[in-house]
Amino acid sequence: MFWYKMISTGLLLALHGALQAQESLADSVRHLEGVTVTANRYQEVIPSQRLSGARLEGLNSFSVADAIRYFSGVQIKDYGGVGGLKTVDLRSMGTNHMGVFYDGIQLGNAQNGQIDLGKFSLDNIEEISLYNGQKSEIFQPAKDFGSAGTIYLRTRRPRFEEGKPLNLIAFARTGSFGLLNPSLLLEIKTGRSSALSLNAEYIGASGKYKFRYRKVLADGTTAWDTTAVRQNGDIGSLRLEGGANGFTEHSSWHAKAYFFDSEKGIPGAIVNNVWKRSQRQWDRNFFAQGSFRRQFSGRADLLANIKLAVDRMRYLNPDTTLLYIDNTFVQREAYASLAGKYSLLPDWDINLSADYQWNRLDASLQDFVRPRRHTALVALATALEWKRLKVQASLLGTYVFESVDGRGGEAPAPSGANDRREYTPAVFLSYRSRPEGPLLLRAFCKRIFRMPTFNDLYYTDIGNVALRPEYTVQYNLGLLFEKEYGRGMLSGLSLRADAYYNEVTDKIVAVPKGNGQFRWMMMNLGYVEIRGLELSANLALRPAESMQLGLGLNYTFQRAQDFSSPSDNDAEAGTWGRQIAYIPRHNGSAVANLNWKRWDVNYSFAYVGKRYHNSSNIRENLEQPWYTHDLALSRQLGLPKLKCKLSLEVNNLLDQQYDVVLNYPMPGRNWKMIVRVEM
Amino acid sequence: MNKQIFLTWAIAVAILYSCRNEAEIYPPEIVQLAPPDAGRVAGFYLLNEGNMGSNKSTLDYYDYGTGEYRRNIFADANPSVPKELGDVGNDIKIYGSKLYAVINCSNKIEVMDKRTARRLGQIDVPNCRYIRFHNGYAYISSYAGPVELNPHYEQLGYVAKVDTASLLVIDRCLVGFQPDELEIADGKIYVANSGGYMFPNYEKTVSVIDLESFKEIKRIEVARNLHRLRADRHGNLWVSSRGDYYAQPSRLYRIDRTRDETADSIDIAVSNFHLDGDSLYLYSTEWSYISMSNEVTYGIVDVAKRAIVTRSFITDGTDQQIKIPYGIMVHPLTKDIYVTDAKNYVSPGTLYCFGSDGRLKWNVRTGDIPAHFVFLED
């Protein structure tokens, strides 16, 4: 029954979508507190940011990565273009520390630890949430405790209007880069309490765009100025997704199968005399996952998850003037998890979860040892509410065993990785100024690590089997002010300020190995200290009748200092104590969406301050700040029985020419037209 | 309220605009290192490789006449060249009035005036490695073999013959796999084949090309993964092998040029060397899987006596500061020794100057991966 209520409330919420701000301004879960027993009353204990509903829909975002750049504390490493790699770095700890969860189960990449968020379409994503530390929920699989920061992508859960057993949503996008992007979503009500959904999407693009590099002399006159077209950035990809979900009075389940197949060019770095490259990459990803949740007697809850995944990647360098490379990598993963929660007292819960994961990597590399990794995780967590104080604490035990191909078959991995035990704690506190008051003080500290990836450990010649895990410690202190107003122009306000200090120890870095032929070795040599401040404000306004205005502002300050090499302490060019590569001291974003009758206008602005592409912060390594203005206009067409929306987007309105990564030019002004039909 | 918001944003946007500057070509940074010392040698160029893909190969110049070090002179001397010098400088030489910089990953040899470093033109050679000259021609080794559509294709490298007047490639001679340094002596070109793309099946030979016919006439079996070679005045050719990085260590080999055969070897690891008179100054950086670190050694070999003279030419302990020695050169008159440190390959390196007594005279910051030297003689 509660599911039905949840669904209808969800619909209501979607209607006043403009209110759904990033912070849980109109947090559906909080609204449902009285309705559902599984509601998360600890929601606000951990700093989180959320994009959902109209906010998410309104952003000119092509992929999940584009949307995430509006969060504070986040850096997107973007190699540009439709198919370019896009990864997320939270609070300067490095992309490998970010856990990305798709419908509650982690997306894995044991090979290099990086999840390309450019690959995930927003078409069927309903909500993106980002948590520092871990999700504000103790009732979760052990894996969810295992990252320094987590992103949850939640796909659309079917909802049906009264008497309507079928939803059909079709998208078509076209625009710059030769983009052709149709998608179809079908939702079928298969019973009173179960539904099926099918989603297919194709992305085709030539990936061509003009870019311009220019330098001036000290007096401001042009030294050189060159414009070219980005080549070999083409992509063709197909995504098929099928899901089923259902519920009974005390249980719910969902299952999903995902298939992604793509071929793309790798446009490469633009350097003197080289304006075109020919490397190609093929990806084929498949996974199937299921989740089951049941409630017993109002005090006990059980959650079971299972996943199987196969990822195949082929990289080809057909350019025979260079090293000819044709490598194929196949990763396999199996995962199972069981979590149980028990309420000892109405305000005191404990959770125990146990996960097991198996990974294997095969590669067509010379002398490759085909590593297998068995990971067992056990998490014990508790959540306690005492008057206005909420506490969560968790302890995660991780046990890793690896084996490799040796002489005469499989053998335990040499040193280091063959028998690893790590215990990592986390504590989160929040204190409300007065009961039901708008002001909340919160703090957390968490110690967690990331395992060296298979590439770090076993990549032929570069890998180092002696690597230890890379650890992070995070401390955070923050204030949250949240209030909704019944009358007046301001209908909701949320303000957030968080200050933090992180340490990354035993950071895995590549060091030169011997001389010549650019040989590298992975070593646990890095040490980084990060001090940061995040500020954000979200406002929901009603400037006039039937008009809603949502405003979001984010600002991040980060001082991320490289203390890896004490001897490299030259006053000008040394790296010791200097800002690490690609982390700006200042970055921020502003998002506004105005909804008036059938019209929607969205404006978003992202700013990344000056950065250096190396810890040696000299002028030669300086990267100029960049900022983009994106604008979108959309209108609902009122057709009977057919909901139709037309949108027009312009991105990088002022045609700024910039690199996020050195020598990888980003697109200038580009546009997109979207038709969305729902019936 | 809307107006206020608009105004706020207008102001914010204006502020942000002022934060972004145009990318600028900086004038060289000049560092005074030593008192002026006019002599037959006017100065030297130092080519910084820059890490692959960074497009940060830069050129520095030291002027003995003023004692000044000028860091990053190319962009300033050639402000109209898009994307400056290029990606991964691999060799630098002077021939006649011209300065030639081999830029490996930019597939070109930048040709400049030897006094001003102003660009005169470029020679297009894909995956070019090293350059030498003879009788008005430049000879350039290249990893790039003939382009064929064949997945099992193994690409032989070649030596390109270039007319230094027209800067055009006029002939090619196929050699072994991935040829590195070359040396011209006795009417022949000797080419060290590395096989660097063929791991673990490295090449083991030196190709001998007849200058007259420009045809490969012989292969001399030496050792795996050859890199550098230098002819001495006693009829020998000194060849360095990188080894296979595992079982077989790096080593110095001697080829007898009268027979064009490998004669013997000296048990010393070599990453790079410089021949001055009969003294072969060398260093080695080898990764040790035991200590999990780079083990750096130095030495001088007397090529007349064919023996190691010393295992250290830095005498004041400065060698402890050098993480990855990457370039070496000896002044022909003063016998000052120049050694560069490439550190972590991605941040600026250091150039050290030692007196002939092995004591530090000065050091200076360079570009990324300082590597290749050439003297400018008056």
User: CA-to-CA distance for A528 and A564, rounded, in angstroms?
Assistant: 7
Least confident window among A582-596, B62-76, B146-160, B177-191: B146-160
Task: Measure the CA angle with vertex A137, ends A336 and A97; round to 5°.
Answer: 65
Q: Is A322 on the interface with B (CB under 8 A)?
A: yes
Q: Select from A215, A278, A519 the residue whose CB has the most chain B CBs within 10 Å, as the one to mutate to test that interface.
A: A215
A182: CATH: 2.40.170.20
Range of the domain at A527: 2-678
Question: Which among A271, A323, A618 is the nearest to B197, CB-wise?
Answer: A323
Residue B277, pLDDT > 70, answer yes
Q: Which residues on A lie below 8 Å from B56 (Cβ)?
A: 620
Instruction: Tokens 């990888």: give the residue.
Output: A664
User: Which range is most confident: A28-42, A408-422, B14-28, B58-72?
Assistant: B58-72
Does residue A539 contact residue A550 with C-beta atoms inside 8 Å?
yes
Measure in Å the smallest separation between the Cα of B106 and chain A Cα atoms: 5
Least confident window among A32-36, A404-408, A523-527: A32-36
A38 — pLDDT class (breaks 50, 70, 90):
very low
Residues B76-85 have a mean pLDDT of 96
> How many contacts (CB atoms, under 8 Å) link A and B?
191
A35 — pLDDT class (breaks 50, 70, 90):
very low
- For chain A positions 466-505, those within 8 Å of chain B (CB to CB) are 466, 489
The whole-number pLDDT of residue A16 equals: 33
Which pair of structure tokens corresponds to residue A385? 């509410």
Question: Which among A213, A324, A629 is the nearest to B155, CB-wise?
Answer: A324
Residue that wins the pLDDT comparison between A514 and A661: A661
Q: Is A652 on the interface with B (CB under 8 A)?
A: no
Q: Which residues on B lie below 8 Å from A512 (Cβ)?
A: 294, 324, 342, 344-345
Q: Which residues on A lie below 8 Å from B242 (Cβ)?
A: 515-517
The whole-number pLDDT of residue A1 equals: 35
Question: What letter would DSSP give residue A489?
Answer: S
- CB contact under 8 Å between A320 and B145, yes or no, is yes
Question: What letter would DSSP give residue B318?
Answer: G
User: CA-to-CA distance for A279 and A263, rounded, in angstroms?
Assistant: 11
User: CA-to-CA distance for A332 and A349, rounded, in angstroms?
Assistant: 35
Report the length, in residues, of chain A: 679
The whole-number pLDDT of residue A43 equals: 62
The whole-number pLDDT of residue A639 equals: 81
Question: Which among B56, B82, B347 is the nearest to A226, CB-wise?
Answer: B82
pLDDT tens for A616-648 read 999 999 999 999 999 999 999 978 888 899 999
- CB contact under 8 Å between A513 and B83, yes or no, is no
Q: Which residues on B lie below 8 Å from A216 (Cβ)?
A: 22-25
User: CA-to-CA distance for A311 and A329, rounded, in angstroms?
Assistant: 8
The whole-number pLDDT of residue A8 equals: 37
The whole-number pLDDT of residue A294 equals: 95
The whole-number pLDDT of residue A37 equals: 30
Residue A514, pLDDT > 50, answer yes
| Strand intervals (E) in A137-277 | 149-155, 166-175, 179-191, 194-205, 210-216, 222-229, 235-247, 251-265
Measure in Å the smallest separation between the Cα of B69 and chain A Cα atoms: 16
The whole-number pLDDT of residue B15 equals: 55
Residue of chain A whose Cα is closest to the Cα of B270: A515
Residue of chain B whose Cα is closest to the Cα of A609: B19
pLDDT tens for A353-375 read 999 999 999 999 888 999 999 99
Question: Which among A215, A607, A629 is the nearest to B24, CB-wise?
Answer: A215
Question: Which among B12, B87, B346 is the nearest to A274, CB-wise?
Answer: B87
Instruction: Tokens 């990598």: give the residue.
Output: A329
The whole-number pLDDT of residue A29 equals: 30
The whole-number pLDDT of residue B171 equals: 97
The whole-number pLDDT of residue B334 equals: 95
The whole-number pLDDT of residue B4 equals: 64
The whole-number pLDDT of residue B288 equals: 84
- For chain A positions 386-405, those within 8 Å of chain B (CB to CB) are none
User: CA-to-CA distance for A670 and B276, rounded, in angstroms?
Assistant: 60
Does residue A602 contact residue A629 with C-beta atoms inside 8 Å?
no
A31 — pLDDT class (breaks 50, 70, 90):
very low
The whole-number pLDDT of residue A466 equals: 87
Number of domains in chain A: 1
Q: Is A620 on the interface with B (CB under 8 A)?
A: yes
With the CA atoms of A456, A458, A462 and A465 taken in that order, what torsion angle do they form, in degrees rounded to the nearest 10? 80
Task: Measure the CA angle with vertex A383, ends A382 and A388; round to 5°.
Answer: 155
Tell how strand B261-266 and strand B272-276 pair up: unpaired
- Residues in Cβ contact with B206 at an 8 Å cutoff, skipping those fewer than 6 apart: B190, B191, B192, B193, B219, B220, B222, B226, B229, B237, B239, B255
Q: Which residues on A lie below 8 Å from B52 (Cβ)?
A: 518
Which pair of structure tokens corresponds to residue A649? 């987007």
pLDDT tens for A289-322 read 999 999 998 899 999 999 999 999 999 998 878 8
pLDDT tens for A70-89 read 898 899 889 988 888 999 99
Question: Which among A214, A489, A624 is the nearest to B1, CB-wise?
Answer: A489
A516 — pLDDT class (breaks 50, 70, 90):
low
Residue A12, pLDDT > 50, answer no
State phi, psi for A178 to the nearest 5 degrees: 65, 35
With the CA atoms of B193, B199, B202 and B208 taken in that order, what torsion angle do they form, in degrees rounded to the nearest 10? -20
Stated pTM of the model: 0.92
With the CA atoms of A21, A22, A26 and A32 taken in that order, what torsion angle do they form, in degrees rounded to the nearest 10? 150
The whole-number pLDDT of residue B7 equals: 63
User: CA-to-CA distance for A670 and A659, rounded, in angstroms?
Assistant: 16
Instruction: Tokens 């013997």: give the residue.
Output: B264
Instruction: Tokens 């050195």: give the residue.
Output: A662
| Strand intervals (E) in A318-371 | 325-345, 348-363
Residue A400, pLDDT > 50, answer yes
Residues A267-294 have a mean pLDDT of 95
Q: Which residues on A lie below 8 Å from B5 (Cβ)?
A: 551, 592
- Residues in Cβ contact with A408 at an 8 Å cutoff, skipping those fewer than 6 apart: none
User: CA-to-CA distance for A242 and A287, rounded, in angstroms?
Assistant: 11
Question: What letter would DSSP give residue A117?
Answer: G
Measure in Å the smallest separation between the Cα of A515 and chain B Cα atoms: 6
A44 — pLDDT class (breaks 50, 70, 90):
low
Q: Select from B181, B347, B352, B369 the residue whose CB has the most chain A CBs within 10 Å, as the one to mutate to test that interface.
A: B347
pLDDT tens for A529-554 read 999 999 999 999 998 888 999 999 99
A56 — pLDDT class (breaks 50, 70, 90):
confident
B329 — pLDDT class (breaks 50, 70, 90):
very high
A11 — pLDDT class (breaks 50, 70, 90):
very low
Question: Which among B20, B153, B344 is the nearest to A511, CB-wise?
Answer: B344
Measure in Å the smallest separation between the Cα of B220 and chain A Cα atoms: 23
- CB contact under 8 Å between B272 and A624, yes or no, is no
Looking at every residue in chain A, the average pLDDT score rounds to 89
Residue B362, pLDDT > 60, answer yes
- CB contact under 8 Å between B9 and A269, yes or no, is no
B289 — pLDDT class (breaks 50, 70, 90):
confident
Residue of chain A whose Cα is closest to the Cα of B284: A515
Residue B97, pLDDT > 80, answer yes
Which pair of structure tokens corresponds to residue A293? 């949740």
- CB contact under 8 Å between B23 and A662, yes or no, is no
A62 — pLDDT class (breaks 50, 70, 90):
confident
Residues A401-422 have a mean pLDDT of 82
Which pair of structure tokens corresponds to residue A432? 């409300």
Residue B258, pLDDT > 70, answer yes
Residue A287, pLDDT > 90, answer yes
Residues A458-470 have a mean pLDDT of 88
Residue of chain A whose Cα is closest to the Cα of B249: A514
Residue B11, pLDDT > 80, answer no
Q: Is A571 on the interface with B (CB under 8 A)?
A: no
Q: Is A228 on the interface with B (CB under 8 A)?
A: no
Residue A174, pLDDT > 90, answer yes
Residue of chain A whose Cα is closest to the Cα of B53: A269
ipTM over 0.90: yes
Measure in Å the smallest separation between the Cα of B52 and chain A Cα atoms: 8
